[in-house]
Chain A
Amino acid sequence: MEANVEVKAKEVIKSPSGFSVVWRELIKDKLALISLIFLIGVTAFVYGTAIFLDQEEIVKVDLFSIYEPPGEEFILGTDYGGRDVFGQLIIGTRNSLSIAILVTLMTGIIGIIYGLVSGYFGGHIDNIMMRILDFFLILPFTMIVIAFVAIVPKYSVWTFSLIMTAFLWMGIARLVRSKALAEKELDYIQAARTLGTSNFKVVFKHLLPNVSSIIIVNMTINLAGNIGLESGLSFLGFGFPESTPSLGTLLSYARNPQTLEFRWWIWVPASLMILLLMLAVNNVGTALRRAVDARQRRG
């Protein structure tokens, strides 16, 4: 995913701002518009209904309805604990979305600050900060996450997001830094500096707004990547407990070959949900990118 982030960033050249441009671009791009509506709809639905759904009730084991196929009582059937898959899908989607959003925001904030500071000050500070960043890049993600999962006593959406954030902020930091490096040579920053504006002010009042568009685009694309984030770990057996359903836990039931082959209703809806959510976010992201990249704009 790291490389992807870099890739996307490279082509963003200049950023005319204004939400009207973005909006115009979205309206033009029907696919992105539909994606956006879909996203808002799903989000509203899962967060809305999750208020009324009793998570305890849904993850309650029922010996007498194990592996029910979809039917009237259970729209999407039940799993090997007799638990309603549809309910788990809703709560799971909410949990996975929460993780994706949390991780995206936290990596965004850390990455932006780190990148801005490094890029703006440059020189030795930049050099040291980049070496630290390099170090994070070589960290064996899987091993450390598994170790954390074993060590951290309580394991929730929050702790999980924090752990993930620790390993995923580098992409955006690098991107912001390179933007900041280029931007600070420009006249307006130089002017602000010579006028004696404080560094803090220069960075956050002048530099940040001018790199904000690529940040938004980049974070949108990260969001797409983060939706499936916890599914891989769940698959390896280091994800959430089943009493905290997520798209990943549902998906990981497919590890059981009998489930994969005979009981599609357990894992296919979650797979499709991940696929659709990622595609939708990505479509919106693409439209956003066009909006901020004049050359690709459609009108």
Chain B
Amino acid sequence: MSKSLKWLFALMLAMLLVLAACGNNTAGDDDQKKDDPKTETEDPKDDEKEDEEEPVEDDGLYSIDDFATSKTNEGEAIEGGSLTFGLVSDTVFEGTLNYNFYSGAPDAEVIAWFDESMLYTDGNFTFTNEGPAEFTTEPYETDEYPNGVTFTFKIKDNVNWHDGEPVKAEDWAFSFEVIGHPDYTGVRYGPDFSNIVGMEEYNAGEADTISGIEIVDEKTLKITYKESQPSLLTGGVWSYAMPKHIFKDIPVAEMQESDAVRKNPIGMGPFKVKSITPGESVVYEKFADYWRGEPNLDEVVLKVVSPSTVVQALQTGEVDMVDSFPVDQFVDNADMSNVEWLGITDLAYTYIGFKLGHWDAEAKKVVMDPDKKMADVNLRRAMWYAVDNNAVGEKFYNGLRWQANSLIIPPFKDYHNADVEAPTYNPDEAKKLLDEAGYVDVDGDGIREDKNGEELVINFASMSGGDVAEPLAQYYIQSWAAVGLKVELIDGRLLEFNAFYDRVGQNGEDDPNIDIYQGAWSTGTDVNPYGLYGPDQMFNFPRYESEKSSELLAAGNSPEAFDVAYRQEVYKEWQELMVEDIPVFPTLYRAVLIPVNNRVLNYAIDYGSTMGRHELAVTQEEPFKHE
């Protein structure tokens, strides 16, 4: 037996050695990395950035300003070539490959390669005339709808579906007919559609046609909206057509599951679908008749890459680029030699919300409740002062998430108020506010009691799933404890996303035990925050309303607000009001990082970029590999 004992020990020892060796190597790598994290991001830059880069040295911190938004082109493009695009996802893509029916974000990425919007947008997310269709507007004034507007769209001549059929006005009108149809199975129908004259009657099954939509001729479409709003120009008009000649014989209720959506979808984009391996990958080939010109690449392969293997896939050139790189893995891979890192501010923010009321399902609006634990604005402000989001951004996210100050995010360049005076980390101020507001520690246990001297325990709901979700939530709890507030995770753990949204109130049944929560919003391209903070909005999770806020929100989307200066003024005021009232406070803005293989040319990620995917090219047949 002693022999076998020796064997086991030897085995253990060997394992330890191997592991130790692993550790040593990688530790070495780490050190190296720290020495030259900058060289990579510096290269593509022009001189003007030079001085900004100083603070980034050595401390492992990055800033979104250090990233380019378009790929540096080095080398000559070759004729044709194939590019592999990685779709970073834990799950498969569902395969509902039509803009009118999809619901998952991965599907949108798949569709984007073969279909496109009829209207392009600029850097302010406003529709332009650069896309497959041009538009003009004219006021529409009747007694019923004094503030209406009529859009006239003209589809450009050379825009064709992949099967050679021209894209016609009826194709676009058909999208509205399908989405508005009583049998429609998707999620797209909403206020953007019911705002069309005659849409509600059609949706209720009372009318066979939508009176506000008129096909003028083969290439001209007129749509009349009841209310003219600036939001119409930032995504409020449904801009995706569907090929009527293919879908016309399929009953609306069955379209979503039809082969035209799932197996052989067609679009008008630069690439057409060649083959689909359900959930895993799609192969596209170029669509030579693309209206903006023949694409450079012969073929594009899209495949799902798990976030846990994406680094290796990039290093080995298995994928040339991805839709979005898991930012928490960037620091360890900043020196990847075969890619260039592009980065941009994401259309999203993280925030802490305070429950100030409940949802009245009858009246379909929020009702504030002055007895709520968080009803005192000074308590809310103190909690804002108590957290150091700067440190959170730097330490947890290496600067790739950073302190937020306003609920209108920086990418909305015209409207984001960078100067709004939001509280920043100041625990003394927090304590002072609490003392003044009457939240004092009466029994001497180091924890503040509420105004009546009774125990105050604030229940905090936070979602699991993100990479540092748990330490982040714990950090906030600790920060609040440091100013004397007792905050506890509800149920003592993070909530899984279904449970989280259920209890925060996605169907109006808020869990009354939740006092505060940490959430995140992806804003979409419309600056208008009404959908999240309007008094009759289900997604107004803090259940906050005030006359002032409602007024400003309404003004911000009124016909007058087509005047940018006016709208800026309104939203500036609203952002200030939110810092005053604090129904929620924004914590972090975030970066999207996209690594692109050095062989790829003509790729840009900035909002409103006119660079199309048909311009993509490669400089050599095989991707570069990381050395």
Interface residues of A (CB under 8 A from B): 28-31, 34, 59-61, 63-64, 66, 69, 80-83, 150, 153-155, 237, 241-243, 255-258, 261-265, 268, 272, 276, 279
Give 16 new A-B contacts, CB below 8 A, not counting A61-B478, A82-B471, A155-B491.
A29-B1, A59-B474, A61-B474, A63-B392, A80-B468, A83-B471, A150-B498, A241-B494, A242-B471, A243-B492, A256-B329, A261-B26, A261-B332, A262-B26, A264-B22, A264-B23
| Residues on A with beta carbons closer than 8 Å to the beta carbon of B308 | 255-257
Q: Does B208 count as interface, using CB distance less than 8 angstroms?
A: no
Interface residues of B in 319-356 (CB under 8 A from A): 328-329, 332-333
Q: Does B76 count as interface, using CB distance less than 8 angstroms?
A: no
Total contacts A-B at CB 8 Å: 98
Closest B residue, CB atoms, query A59: B474
| Residues on A with beta carbons closer than 8 Å to the beta carbon of B396 | 63, 66, 80
A28 CA to B328 CA, complexed, in Å:
53
CB distance B395 to A63 under 8 Å? yes
Stretch at the interface among B2-10, B107-115, B177-185, B244-252: B2-10
Residue of B22, B27, B308, B471 contacting most chain A CB atoms (<10 Å): B471
Closest A residue, CB atoms, query B398: A66
CB distance A61 to B471 under 8 Å? yes
Q: Which of B5, B470, B496 contacts A34 (CB 8 A)?
A: B5
| Residues on A with beta carbons closer than 8 Å to the beta carbon of B494 | 241
Residue of A28, A60, A241, A268 contacting most chain B CB atoms (<10 Å): A241
A76 CA to B170 CA, complexed, in Å:
67
Closest A residue, CB atoms, query B16: A272
User: Could you list 8 A-B pairs, sorted by A, with CB under 8 Å?
Assistant: A28-B1, A61-B472, A241-B493, A241-B494, A242-B471, A262-B26, A262-B27, A265-B23
Q: Which of B19, B329, B464, B499 contacts A258 (CB 8 A)?
A: B329
- In the assembled complex, the CB of A270 is this many whole angstroms from the nearest CB of chain B, namely 12
Q: Does B475 count as interface, using CB distance less than 8 angstroms?
A: yes
CB distance B1 to A64 under 8 Å? no
Given A69-B27, A154-B492, A242-B471: A237 touches B395 (CB 8 Å cut-off): no
CB distance B395 to A66 under 8 Å? yes
Q: Which of A63, A268, A279 contacts B475 (CB 8 A)?
A: A63
CB distance A31 to B392 under 8 Å? no
A279 CA to B8 CA, complexed, in Å:
10
Closest A residue, CB atoms, query B465: A237
Q: Does B309 count as interface, using CB distance less than 8 angstroms?
A: yes
How many residues on B have C-beta within 8 angstroms of the other chain's C-beta atoms? 46
Taken residue by residue from 387 to 402, chain B's Cβ proximity to chain A (1 for < 8 Å, 0 otherwise) reads as 0100110011000000
CB distance A243 to B474 under 8 Å? yes
Given A241-B492, A242-B471: A30 touches B395 (CB 8 Å cut-off): no
Q: Which of A81, A155, A268 contacts B474 (CB 8 A)?
A: A81
| Residues on A with beta carbons closer than 8 Å to the beta carbon of B1 | 28-31
| Residues on A with beta carbons closer than 8 Å to the beta carbon of B5 | 30-31, 34
CB distance A256 to B467 under 8 Å? yes
Q: Which of A29, A262, A264 contacts B332 (CB 8 A)?
A: A262
A262 CA to B25 CA, complexed, in Å:
9
- In the assembled complex, the CB of B250 is this many whole angstroms from the nearest CB of chain A, namely 35
CB distance A30 to B471 under 8 Å? no
- In the assembled complex, the CB of A259 is this many whole angstroms from the nearest CB of chain B, namely 9
| Residues on B with beta carbons closer than 8 Å to the beta carbon of A279 | 8
A237 CA to B493 CA, complexed, in Å:
13
Taken residue by residue from 256 to 281, chain B's Cβ proximity to chain A (1 for < 8 Å, 0 otherwise) reads as 00000000000000000000000000
| Residues on B with beta carbons closer than 8 Å to the beta carbon of A80 | 396, 467-468, 471
CB distance A256 to B499 under 8 Å? no
Q: Does B311 count as interface, using CB distance less than 8 angstroms?
A: yes
Q: Does B428 count as interface, using CB distance less than 8 angstroms?
A: no
CB distance B468 to A268 under 8 Å? no
Interface residues of B in 479-517 (CB under 8 A from A): 489, 491-494, 496, 498-499
Taken residue by residue from 12 to 30, chain B's Cβ proximity to chain A (1 for < 8 Å, 0 otherwise) reads as 1001100100110011011
Interface residues of B in 512-545 (CB under 8 A from A): none
Q: Which of A61, A257, A263 contacts B309 (CB 8 A)?
A: A257
- In the assembled complex, the CB of B388 is this many whole angstroms from the nearest CB of chain A, namely 8
CB distance B493 to A81 under 8 Å? no
Interface residues of B (CB under 8 A from A): 1-2, 4-5, 8, 12, 15-16, 19, 22-23, 26-27, 29-30, 308-309, 311-312, 328-329, 332-333, 388, 391-392, 395-396, 464-465, 467-468, 470-472, 474-475, 478, 489, 491-494, 496, 498-499
| Residues on A with beta carbons closer than 8 Å to the beta carbon of B464 | 237
CB distance B311 to A257 under 8 Å? yes
| Residues on B with beta carbons closer than 8 Å to the beta carbon of A261 | 26, 332
Closest A residue, CB atoms, query B388: A63
| Residues on A with beta carbons closer than 8 Å to the beta carbon of B471 | 61, 80-83, 242
A179 CA to B499 CA, complexed, in Å:
46
Closest A residue, CB atoms, query B331: A258
Closest B residue, CB atoms, query A81: B471
Instruction: Give the 4 A-B CB pairs with smallest separation, nearest first.
Output: A81-B471, A241-B493, A63-B395, A242-B470
Closest A residue, CB atoms, query B476: A61
| Residues on B with beta carbons closer than 8 Å to the beta carbon of A268 | 19, 23
Q: Which of B23, B27, B311, B499 contacts A150 (CB 8 A)?
A: B499
A66 CA to B395 CA, complexed, in Å:
7
A150 CA to B492 CA, complexed, in Å:
13
A279 CA to B475 CA, complexed, in Å:
38
| Residues on B with beta carbons closer than 8 Å to the beta carbon of A60 | 474, 478
A237 CA to B5 CA, complexed, in Å:
37
Closest A residue, CB atoms, query B329: A258
| Residues on B with beta carbons closer than 8 Å to the beta carbon of A61 | 471-472, 474-475, 478
- In the assembled complex, the CB of B3 is this many whole angstroms from the nearest CB of chain A, namely 10
A265 CA to B395 CA, complexed, in Å:
20
- In the assembled complex, the CB of B310 is this many whole angstroms from the nearest CB of chain A, namely 8
| Residues on A with beta carbons closer than 8 Å to the beta carbon of B493 | 155, 241, 243
Closest A residue, CB atoms, query B19: A268
CB distance A64 to B492 under 8 Å? no
| Residues on A with beta carbons closer than 8 Å to the beta carbon of B16 | 272
A265 CA to B472 CA, complexed, in Å:
21
| Residues on B with beta carbons closer than 8 Å to the beta carbon of A257 | 308-309, 311-312, 329
- In the assembled complex, the CB of A162 is this many whole angstroms from the nearest CB of chain B, namely 17
Closest A residue, CB atoms, query B20: A264
Residue of A31, A34, A64, A237 contacting most chain B CB atoms (<10 Å): A31
| Residues on B with beta carbons closer than 8 Å to the beta carbon of A262 | 26-27, 29-30, 332
CB distance B470 to A241 under 8 Å? yes
| Residues on A with beta carbons closer than 8 Å to the beta carbon of B309 | 257
A264 CA to B30 CA, complexed, in Å:
13
Given A150-B496, A242-B471, A257-B309: A264 touches B8 (CB 8 Å cut-off): no
CB distance B391 to A63 under 8 Å? yes
- In the assembled complex, the CB of A205 is this many whole angstroms from the nearest CB of chain B, namely 38
| Residues on A with beta carbons closer than 8 Å to the beta carbon of B499 | 150
A59 CA to B471 CA, complexed, in Å:
9
A243 CA to B496 CA, complexed, in Å:
16
A46 CA to B30 CA, complexed, in Å:
33
Closest B residue, CB atoms, query A29: B1
- In the assembled complex, the CB of A169 is this many whole angstroms from the nearest CB of chain B, namely 27
| Residues on B with beta carbons closer than 8 Å to the beta carbon of A276 | 12
A103 CA to B392 CA, complexed, in Å:
39
| Residues on A with beta carbons closer than 8 Å to the beta carbon of B496 | 150
CB distance A153 to B491 under 8 Å? yes
CB distance A30 to B2 under 8 Å? yes
A153 CA to B459 CA, complexed, in Å:
14
| Residues on B with beta carbons closer than 8 Å to the beta carbon of A81 | 468, 470-471, 474-475
| Residues on B with beta carbons closer than 8 Å to the beta carbon of A242 | 470-471, 474
